[in-house]
Chain A
Amino acid sequence: MNKDERVEPKLLIENLSKSYLVQNEEVKALQGINLTIRDGEFVAIVGSSGCGKSTLLKIIAGLENGYQGSVLLGKERIAGPGLDRGMVFQEHRLLPWLTVEKNITFGLKNKKPEEIARLVSEHIELVGLSGFANAYPYQLSGGMAQRVSIARALVNQPQLLLLDEPFGALDALTKIQMQQEVLRIWEVEKTTMILVTHDIDEAIFLGDRVVVMSSRPGTIRRIIPIDMPRPRDRSSSEFAHIRKEIYHEFFTDAEEPFAYAI
């Protein structure tokens, strides 16, 4: 399936709720989530731990079922995982016994050898790892491994790319580098992306919109559109303004920390 034939993915989430049974007590992870995501959008979901943002992502990925409400991808109700929704996790989750090349190949299904070769080398280049095709995961740095993970997720040209705190395990400098990488990849591939993070700056830097979630139960407090042109200057006043706005959603004036440095 090439990009032109892609159906408007319009991810439509209506009144989504999900509860778990924890020691015989019902715990509501998500409550009344409503969200519409347009084709080619980059949506960042931000919230503190336990707010259900990862659960939301997993439901979209199809890894969690048993929810109330509706989650539609195009016109289809999401009922399980599939190649149309790629996912990148906090751990790279590469197969340790396969090379970079073979790991990305692992993501492909039912393709002819020539196509496989082409797609794999394209995507190795896309994530900036040319020359590392024969390296094993244990030989790569955290950032590089994550890039392979992204390549694997994208090689099938999915309708959605879901990223669950993808840079949480990386050091601060690599994190910024990877954020720039993802941005670049998104601008090339134009895949619809949903990123879940607890890093407010990351959300503002990357997202067309930032969805702010509150916890227990997880609900959407506010959706903030980010109209700034990219690449965004983290030290600009507009950036700071939005940052402050989002902060207000989490902390009252008294709790607001004075300085925030990357």
Chain B
Amino acid sequence: MLNPDAAVPLEQQFVLSNLAPGRAQKRLAAGVVIGLLVALYLITGPLSGIQLGTVNAFVAVYATAMFVTDSVTAVLLYAQFSILRSRAILVIASGYLFTAFIVVLYVLAFPGVLAPNALIGGVQTAAWLYVTWHTVFPLFVIVYALTKDEDPAKRLWHGKTSTAILWSIAWTAALAAAAGFVFARGNAELPRIMVDPTRFGPNWPYLVGAPIVTVCTVAIAVLWLRRRSVLDLWLMVVMCLYLVEVPLSYYPAPMRFSMGWYAVRVVGFVSSSLLLSVLLYEITALYAQLLGAVRGQRRERQARLLTGDAVAASMAHEMRQPLTAMITTADAGFRFLDRDAPNLDRAKEAFRRIAADGHRAGALVGSIRGNFKSDVTQRESFDLNELVQEALSLGSSELQRHRILVEAEQNRQLPAVTGNRVQLQQVLLNLIMNAVDAMAPKSEPRVLTVRSEPCEDGRVKVSVADTGPGIAPTDVENMFNPLFTTKSDGMGMGLSICRAIIEAHDSRLWFTPNTPRGAVFHFTLQATRPTPAIA
């Protein structure tokens, strides 16, 4: 069995003929096969005594249904071929098209359906067409199974897919037509399968049963050895259905329009529509997944665009303050110089202040770069315990004011982490302050828990938990959108900027509900070394 990931390019893993079957699918397939065996036992055993009448119209209805389902399956598989360019898919599509053609000839040759005798050929023609149908389709399956895992150079079709499909249809039609011609013309010369239009002769097991059983068994074996995709799984089930038709046709009564014979038509229709149903179900499921992914992507992009706007807005505000100070101080400086007796000391002082504000603006620009360009040079290795303590002591006045109990155990096993210490302190402080704001209006026990623990993937997870009202389901989507706030005096920038900082550290910020109430915000940081630091 091949590794599906190695054999299939990433972007094609969502195409059905490449998709690996899930557990439920495998169970369903096994269920179908077991159900079939039970039906086989019932029909050949307890139900074998039931006599059924000869309904010629049944053959026409059966053939029409088979033709429609097989053609639709062929169309879907041709569509898959045009995406994947896999010759194997082209082969199996041709197989389904072949059965669609053959079933038309079968109904034309069946005695008493469209004419009192067979419309084409004679008594033997329909039976030989049945043999062809049930041996050639498994041959297509075998070729499919043998070609599907070849190396890409040979496996893939490099020409135009429409040309390939047209050639495939032409060859399949020619093959079916040739079979129809040979069996219609050779009715008299061919070995006799039928004794009369309804009864099978004694040669039936050798001329019909044995060839079908042989090719179907080989097909199942080859598919089993190379099983990988949803398509492989269900083709195996289809081959099992083909196999079951053999004993049902001959036992208990070796004749047409017996209980077993009708059962065979039903099994035949099931096998024909089985793959179609699976294909349609999978296509719908994949479509739903795709839709969900596109929606998610769109939401993510919108949130990002808004984050960009918010960053620009907050930048503009941050820059406005030192610029205002500089302009105002410059005005003051002019006024000190413009006096009849210029006050040089005050003017000098004004210049000093302008310079200081200029540096402040410069530092702001620098910090913006640091925040959003994920400046690697500013990253350092530090002890997360210390950072948590610092953030808590920075927020201690607020924590005390609202009488909030702080639970923050120092974890001595914690490895040192790498990141921009100042930014991460801001993130922690922001999360702590959010927790304080969430708990402030509540009279219940107010507990802030800050926990940090190593993860399996060489990262350290930091969680800030509160016992506030938690996050309303309606707010979940907007949570990280800038300008979203539940506080009357908040700007709503906090969480979106926290997320920007955490994402610049190649991590993410997320939240979960706290039990019994409240919210927990988490983020992870890269450990400097995978081994724990010496405490």
User: Are A and B co-members of a single complex?
Assistant: no
